[in-house]
Structure 1
Amino acid sequence: MSSSYFQDRLTPAAQDGLSPGSAPVALASRSTNALSSRITSVLSASYADLEIRDALETLDAHGVRNTAESRRQIRLDVQKEVIQCNGEIVRDFGEVAEQLKRIGSAISSLNRSCADMRSHISAANRDTGPVLQEATNLMTQKKQVETKQQILSAFNSHFLISGDESTLLSSTVEPVNEEFFQTLTRVKKIHHDCEVLLGTEDQTLGLEVLEQSSKQLNAAFQKLYRWIQREFKTLDLENPQINASVRRSLRVLAERPAMFQSCLDSFAEAREHILSDSFHAAMTGSTSDTQHLATKPIEFHAHDPLRYVGDMLAWAHSATVSEREALEVLFISDGDEIKRSIQAGLESEPWLRSDRDEDVFDGKKALNQLVSRDLTGVARLLRQRTEQVIQSHEDATLAYKIANLIGFYKGTFTKLLGTDSEVLALFDALENCAMRQFRANMRDYVAAVQSELAVAPADQSPPEFLTEALQMLKDLAKSYDTSMSTADDRENAFQSVLAEALDPFLNGCENLYKSLQQPDGDIFAINCLLVAKAVLIPYSFASDRVNEMEDTIGEHCAKLVEYQHQYFTYTSGLNTLLEALSSITDSAESLRTIPNLDAFKPEALISASQQLDEFLPSALIDASENVQNLRNRTMVQDITEEAAGRFCEDFEFVESRLLAADDLLYNDGTEDEELAPGLRDLFPRTGGEIRVLLS
């Protein structure tokens, strides 16, 4: 096959005019080049190329076998297939052209129809244009009218109230109920929102609405003011229960401070009258309208003056508590709302403000002031009757007990109504009146017992006038101890009582003390001070005075100790020896002179020793009899023992001098002198023996 192929290819070459001799050479050369280039082309071709892959896939799809025939016919077959495909495409495009012609004719028909419709529409637009314009204008006007209608409706619903609502605000026939308050709140909002209308260019509408709302508000507040006045009159004044409607009404009325204060004033006047009448009924058993009560009146069952005053004060306290509890809900529960309402009222009516920089409204303070005003009549009647009781009795103890009772209730009312309450002035006046009467009665009593201050009792016991005065002081101290005085002023306040009820009588005892001899004077003074101390010592508020009395008793005891000491020294004869030794010093020269002293000569010293021996057996008993009138037996023993101890110290001093003198005498003496008795031999008692005998 290859040889024929090369032969076929060589034939045309010879025909080109080459010589026969040169033909083989040229043919060999060309074949070698063609083969080489083909092999190079085949080897350099990339079988991964897409075109080669597509060609191979095409060959595979046609089922071409690698034969010589198929290699020779493959180009023809491919060209034939291409020509057939092109023919089919031409036929298809012919059909497409036919279809396009039909579409073109349809489009032309549509264009003619559209042109006709366009002409008809133009004609219709020319005919309906004015109608549509007029309709558009009407729709615009309709929207504007609807908007204005909505604005008018909103204005009427917000800034205007109906005739029924206006009647509800102003007519006294209509009740003050929830609907009234809702309408009033709405009118207040309208009045406040008028500021928006006044900010527009046309202020006429705003001024008209503002004027109308102001009239409606004034009418509503007038109606509310009269309604509250009527409610106050119909309340149960014995046990007033302020319901929710009245509380809310007062809270709303507080926006008009003048009306609010007027309501409180009228209420206070009514309560003052009712409480005064109730107090009179509790005292006498009948009211001002001659009605008799079932309870027993205070004037009939309180025979004791102190109980009489206590019952009146207790009734006033009970009435105050009831009054405060009844009115507390009025100011405390709604205190903040009332404060805000008054603040709003003052802002709307600035001419009602005061120059004082103080809180607008204090609920507790207002409550205390109102309760104080309600009790004004009761306080006036209470003061008259209490002063009458105080001035009609001359018992100082009673006056002081009444003063303490008043002071107790003063502290109670201070806690209830505060320190600024006007009612407290009543208690101050009554307390001062009772204390003045107490001082006057005490001075009269002191003047009456002046005649009893001439002579002290023979047994140095406290005089009768002091015993009576101390009994009175005991009652006064007990009454003061139960009072409500604060810890800071309890002691100072009681000093005035001691100055009136104790000091004059102690001064009288002091005058008697000055007229007595010793030791009776000191014993009398101690006995008086002991009984006075026994009365005051249970009370802490009299501790300073008790301390003063103990100091004074100590001074008198010191004097009694000195008296007893002198009794021991003089009765025992030791004073002679002490006086003789007073000029002797501790020097040897001075001690050697002791035997030469008259008191230490044998006869005198023996006599002194005998006197001492006679004194010692009954020394303590005899000394105790000197102060036996002291009421305190322990004090008698202590005074005597202390005096005996001092006597023993004196004796030991004398003993030490005697021993020192004997030592010097024996050291310096001769044999003859040694036969003479020493001072110790003449005065043999020792200090230990003395302490044993006097123990």
Structure 2
Amino acid sequence: MAASYFQERQAPATQDGLSPASPAVASRGANALSSRITSVLSASYADLEIRDALETLDGRGVKNTAETRRQIRLDVQKEVIQCNGEIVQDFGEVAAQLKRIGSAISSLNRYCADMRSHIESANRETGPVLEEANSLLTQKKQIETKQQILHAFNSHFLVSGEESNVLTSTAEPVNEEFFQTLTRVRKIHHDCQVLLGTEDQTLGLEVLEQSSKQLNAAFQKLYRWIQREFKTLDLENPQINASVRRSLRVLAERPALFQSCLDFFAEARENILSDSFYAALTGSTTDNTNFATKPIEFHAHEPLRYVGDMLAWGHSATVSEREALEVLFISEGDEIRRSIQAGLESEPWLRDEDAEVFDGKKALNQLVSRDLTGVARLLRQRTEQVIQSHDDATLAYKIANLIGFYKSTFGKLLGSDSEVLEVFNALEVSAMRQFRGNMRDHVASVQSELTVAPLDLSPPDFLEEALEMLKALAKSYDTSVATVDDRDNAFQSVLAETLDPFLGGCENLYKGMPQPNGDIFAINCLLAAKLVLSPYSFTKSRATEIEGTISEHTGRLIEYQHGYFAHMSGLHALLEALSSVSDSTESLKTIPTLEPFQPEALVSASQQLDEFIPSALLDAAENIKKLRNRKMVQEITEEAAGRFCEDFEFVESKILAADELLFAQKDGEEDDEPGLRDLFPRTSGEIRVLLS
């Protein structure tokens, strides 16, 4: 379209009667054309306004003709004028509407002023009424608040007559309702502190006094109820009434009543257990009621079994009592301790600064110990009768061990500070005192038998009897006192009573006997004692001590056998002669001049040696054949034979050394005189072979 526009603009035109060919016209046309071209070329067709204008023309469907180009400006201006006219017309309508709105607003303002005046007049008339209404509403709210406070106070701090009757009347049962009411009254009593903190304390004091009276009456009722329950309480039933446990926990808030209740219970249980123990012993109770079970006194014929059955019954009763009471105290131990602590805080005048905090297990042990007081007293009487009515020392010691065993068992059940253990300590001391007295009487009775030892050098009868008794005592001690810490030292007193006097008697006999019979007799007695002591660990130290004594006697027997070998073989004279000879040359030269080394004496010693050696071991063993341990006989003889061989080697070495010096003096000269070796030809190797 732009191209056609420029093409049409190049067509010749006339203006004011001038020909285009005239120079002036041509000059102006050229300037206009160059300005137009410059304007067109300088225009930026990327401008948005030009683009919008071109799009508008294109949208109108305008064709690029000369007529159109001439009329386009007029058409546009015409349209602008029309649009402006329409706008002016529209604004006229708007102005009319604005005038109507202005009149409406003026009317509304007049109406608002009228309403404002009416409202102000109404406010002036209704003001006093509203103030009175607000005052009445405030008073109503205050009254409602006071009513709520009064209702809350009555419901929290006041106890109804029915609740008071449940709490204090003995005709009413102790049930869940009682405990709930008691809990509520305790809370009221505690919350009175809030009332006492106000300016007017009269109400708080009145409520506190009333709640205190109700609580005291309730705890008294609970205390009497628990006492009645304790009279009929069946501890054998594992399902003990839960209300009793709960009652004890609650009653613990009054420590004095709680302790009094425990004392009453302990006294009742003591009587019950004493009657049960008496019935188990005799078959009937104190009120002559017979039982179907066979009594202990009828079927326990042996004293030891009689005491053991009584102790076993006491142990069984203790276990049952502890298990039953454990449900009452240990299961609620923490609650009871807290209740007692709360009671002491509420009643500080009852607090003892030195008193220990309630311990459930300790209290249980103390209560069980108090329950067993009557049983322990009856047990002590019967056991002391058994101990004092028998003179058998073994029986007294077995009873002491049995009592010691049960003492340790009761100590684990009731604690080391239980009063029941004092009874066991007294019985154990009594039994041991009876044992020592019986042993001393027995030792005094057998002292007359300490005259001579048996011909076969075996342990005497009194020692055999003592060892049999010691064996029974050691077995009893080993099975009964398994928990003693210092077991070795604990049995030393028994050894001092049952073994040492009899070994001392054997020692007196052995001292007056010739050798080797004395040492043989001593070894036989000590071996018998060691045989009894060896199986037990608590006699190890004494067995070791006896072994040392046996070794001493064995050493003396070896010396005796060694002397026997030396004298019977003829070697003793040679050893004595050589005892003064040293290893120096001058001393060795004197050996042939010694009397035992003279040819005749040396030949005689050699013959005596040859006659003795073949049967030396048998002859030497015959000397100690009464030693009851055959192995020791062999070992002692062989040890003595070994020492004899060493002595023979010593003699042989001296003889050889003397012969060497003698041959060295002769310097190879022939001499028919025989040497010491020729006169005493046996060698140490031959002696060892013959004595092996």
Pairwise same-fold verdict (TM > 0.5): yes
Return the match for 2:548 from 551, 560, 563. 551
Change (3 A) 1:626 1:9: same
> Within 2, Cα distance between the matches of 1:672 and 1:35?
181
Q: CA deviation at 1:77?
A: 4.1
Aligned to 2:415: 418
Return the match for 1:481 from 478, 482, 487. 478
Contact 1:47–1:53 (8 Å) recurs in 2: yes
Aligned to 1:323: 321
Q: Match of 2:533, as an amino acid?
A: L
Matched, 1:653 2:662: no
Alignment of 1:193-592 (within 5 A): 193-237=191-235, 241-356=239-354, 358=356, 360-486=357-483, 488-592=485-589
Aligned to 1:13: none
Contact 1:272–1:375 (8 Å) recurs in 2: yes
Change (3 A) 1:272 1:34: same
Q: Match of 2:410, as an amino acid?
A: F
> Within 1, Cα distance between the matches of 2:225 and 2:116?
82
Change (3 A) 1:239 1:401: farther
Q: CA deviation at 1:177?
A: 2.2
Q: CA deviation at 1:369?
A: 1.1
Q: Note the aligned Cα RMSD (angstroms).
A: 3.0
Matched, 1:633 2:630: yes
Aligned to 2:6: none
Q: Match of 1:338, as an amino acid?
A: I
Q: Match of 1:499, as an amino acid?
A: A
> Within 1, Cα distance between the matches of 2:97 and 2:156?
75
> Within 2, Cα distance between the matches of 1:253 and 1:213?
17
Return the match for 2:16 from 7, 31, 41. 7
> Within 1, Cα distance between the matches of 2:652 and 2:51?
161
Matched, 1:599 2:596: yes
> Within 2, Cα distance between the matches of 1:46 and 1:220?
112
Q: Counterpart of 1:459 in 2: which secondary structure?
A: coil
> Within 2, Cα distance between the matches of 1:473 and 1:72?
159
Contact 1:402–1:434 (8 Å) recurs in 2: yes
Structure 1 range deviating more: 143-152 or 334-343:
143-152
Change (3 A) 1:100 1:523: closer
Contact 1:298–1:311 (8 Å) recurs in 2: yes
Q: Counterpart of 1:173 in 2: which secondary structure?
A: coil
Structure 1 range deviating more: 230-239 or 296-305:
230-239
Return the match for 1:162 from 160, 163, 182. 160
Aligned to 2:177: 179
Contact 1:242–1:327 (8 Å) recurs in 2: no
Contact 1:241–1:326 (8 Å) recurs in 2: no
Q: CA deviation at 1:217?
A: 2.3
Contact 2:234–2:240 (8 Å) recurs in 1: no
Q: CA deviation at 1:207?
A: 2.8
Q: CA deviation at 1:477?
A: 0.9
Q: CA deviation at 1:679?
A: 3.0
Alignment of 1:20-35 (within 5 A): none
Q: Match of 1:435, as an amino acid?
A: M
Aligned to 2:659: 662
Contact 1:235–1:241 (8 Å) recurs in 2: no
Q: Counterpart of 2:480 in 1: which secondary structure?
A: coil
Structure 1 range deviating more: 513-522 or 562-571:
562-571
> Within 1, Cα distance between the matches of 2:243 and 2:350?
27
Change (3 A) 1:144 1:9: farther
Aligned to 1:190: 188
Aligned length in residues: 681
Contact 2:459–2:524 (8 Å) recurs in 1: yes
C-alpha offsets along residues 143-181 of structure 1, whole Å, 9 cap, x if unaligned? 222222223223333333333222222222222222222
Q: CA deviation at 1:326?
A: 0.4
C-alpha offsets along residues 46-93 of structure 1, whole Å, 9 cap, x if unaligned? 445565556556655665544444444445444544444444445445
Q: CA deviation at 1:392?
A: 1.1
Contact 2:235–2:324 (8 Å) recurs in 1: no
> Within 2, Cα distance between the matches of 1:90 and 1:686?
171
Aligned to 2:4: none
Aligned to 2:618: 621
Change (3 A) 1:374 1:78: same
Q: Counterpart of 1:428 in 2: which secondary structure?
A: helix
Q: Counterpart of 1:213 in 2: which secondary structure?
A: helix
Change (3 A) 1:313 1:83: same
Unmatched 5+ residue regions in structure 1? 11-23
Fraction of identical pairs, as percent: 80
Change (3 A) 1:38 1:669: closer
Q: CA deviation at 1:581?
A: 2.6
C-alpha offsets along residues 105-157 of structure 1, whole Å, 9 cap, x if unaligned? 65566566666666665665555554444333333332222222223223333
Q: CA deviation at 1:196?
A: 2.7
> Within 1, Cα distance between the matches of 2:517 and 2:45?
160
Q: Match of 1:180, as an amino acid?
A: F
Contact 2:235–2:321 (8 Å) recurs in 1: no
Contact 1:268–1:374 (8 Å) recurs in 2: yes
Q: Counterpart of 2:515 in 1: which secondary structure?
A: coil
Q: Counterpart of 1:333 in 2: which secondary structure?
A: coil
Unmatched 5+ residue regions in structure 2? 1-8
TM-score, L = length of structure 2:
0.90
Q: CA deviation at 1:692?
A: 3.0
Q: Match of 2:322, as an amino acid?
A: R
Q: Counterpart of 2:671 in 1: which secondary structure?
A: helix
Alignment of 1:46-195 (within 5 A): 46-49=44-47, 52=50, 56=54, 64-96=62-94, 99=97, 125=123, 128-195=126-193
> Within 2, Cα distance between the matches of 1:256 and 1:282?
38
Change (3 A) 1:240 1:276: farther
Structure 1 range deviating more: 441-450 or 647-656:
647-656
Matched, 1:610 2:607: yes
> Within 2, Cα distance between the matches of 1:74 and 1:608?
182
Q: Match of 2:502, as an amino acid?
A: F
Change (3 A) 1:28 1:198: farther
Contact 1:594–1:661 (8 Å) recurs in 2: yes
Q: CA deviation at 1:671?
A: 10
Structure 1 range deviating more: 377-386 or 632-641:
632-641
Contact 1:466–1:505 (8 Å) recurs in 2: yes
C-alpha offsets along residues 604-647 of structure 1, whole Å, 9 cap, x if unaligned? 33333333333334333332222121111111222222222222
TM-score, L = length of structure 1:
0.90
C-alpha offsets along residues 433-492 of structure 1, whole Å, 9 cap, x if unaligned? 111111111000000111101222222221111111111111111111112244641111
Change (3 A) 1:206 1:674: same
Q: Counterpart of 1:280 in 2: which secondary structure?
A: helix
Contact 2:192–2:204 (8 Å) recurs in 1: yes
